[in-house]
Structure 1
């Protein structure tokens, strides 16, 4: 099975990578395609930089930074993966990458770098609507607060 893992450099995206690796630890045989999509340069960026090659280098550097954390997790787990970088509308470019790479499924975060949407970010919403492949959307697991030791009741069961 080949799984697309969209990543944008956020810790939220790494939750989806960790989820996919947990599936592998539980017996799923899979390889992965790390995908990052860079939005095209803005008019302001084009007008201030005046150098298409420099803009391309900036985009490539941003993509490399965005996949770095996910690559480290996949390397540590010893799983097979490749990296694909696209440019354009994020959701539709991800769908194009999934088709080009003949992916069988997609595992992605509910939110990414923007991270402000209450439940689903705009990319996840579009993917949910337009994706024809099996799609797993991973919500960020908030850490449970641990009470300070002095707040624990020593007479409670199991203490």
Structure 2
């Protein structure tokens, strides 16, 4: 069984990576999942204004749990065993580090943040599957209409 790290930021693009992993499961990939959310460290302004550091940490953890909720529901519905983790730090560094610490065999990652995906690909010791952000499908007739309009414009 393949232990798969699914980094999620709560976006629809990141959730597409979970859908891709589930699609691979229908094609025979047997996996367990580790859902990972990486929160940014608190900014100096937050630290200065907050009366209690635990309050900041709690809010950050709660935001991370919220970002993982949709993926947890999808995996629960599909019967995929999973665990969740919320950490603080640099996103790319934490993805690479947690994949290693947690003994993951694969990282399935949405490709919306080129900076993060490039760093993860460069430094990961396990395979990284990038899931592209898919644009809405365009019908061939729509393209033909656009070409006709472009050719009808005066030059």
Asked if these proteins are the same fold (TM beyond 0.5), I'd say yes
Tell me the CA shift for residue 94 of structure 1.
1.3
Residue matched to 2:77: 76
TM-score of the superposition, structure 2-length normalised? 0.85
Residue matched to 2:94: 93
Tell me the CA shift for residue 132 of structure 1.
1.6
Count the aligned residue pairs: 141
Residue matched to 1:64: 65
Tell me the CA shift for residue 50 of structure 1.
2.6
The structure with the greater share of residues assigned to helix is 2
Residue matched to 1:140: 133
Moved over 4 A (4+): 145-148
**Matches of 1:96 and 1:135, distance apart in 2:** 13
**Matches of 1:2 and 1:97, distance apart in 2:** 12
Residue matched to 2:114: 121
**Matches of 1:84 and 1:64, distance apart in 2:** 8
Question: Could you tell me whether the CA contact under 8 Å between 1:15 and 1:138 is conserved in 2?
Answer: yes
Tell me the CA shift for residue 145 of structure 1.
4.3
Deviation sequence 1:4-51 (CA, Å, 0-9, x none): 000000000011110001001111111010011111100011111131
**Matches of 2:114 and 2:70, distance apart in 1:** 21
**Matches of 2:29 and 2:121, distance apart in 1:** 23
TM-score of the superposition, structure 1-length normalised? 0.83
Alignment of 1:95-114 (within 5 A): 95-111=96-112
Deviation sequence 1:37-90 (CA, Å, 0-9, x none): 111100011111131011011111111111011111111111111111111111
Q: Cα RMSD over matched residues? A: 1.6
Question: Could you tell me whether the CA contact under 8 Å between 1:84 and 1:97 is conserved in 2?
Answer: no
